[in-house]
Amino acid sequence: MHAVRLQPGTRLDRSVVEGILGQGGMARVYVVRHTHVGSLHALKVLEHTDPTVQERLLQEGRIQGQLPASRVVHVTDISDVHVSPGLVMELVDGPS
């Protein structure tokens, strides 16, 4: 296991980390700002480098990205974050 820890101000592809939103047993979720559009998003980054776990996250992202966004947080992009994949999602205000 390799924990990816992002600090505010870290630049990733087309976004900049604003801060941490939460964490669980498998991933951390950060608030990021799109550098061109200025919109805020959530970025879910795995804390595991196990290829099987990474593939599961990518599969989750592909499925969530195709679902209607009415009751599920919509995944808008997949990003490489150092050695881990990350899901770029809409940022929803409210409880987890």
The helix/strand/coil state of 61 is helix
Q: For 30-56, what is the mean pLDDT?
A: 90
CA distance 27 to 61: 13
What confidence tier does 1 reach under pLDDT thresholds 50, 70, 90?
A: very low
pLDDT digits (tens, 9 = 90+) for 66-82: 877 667 788 888 888 87
Q: What share of the chain is helix, strand, coil (3-state, %, to 5)?
A: 15, 40, 40
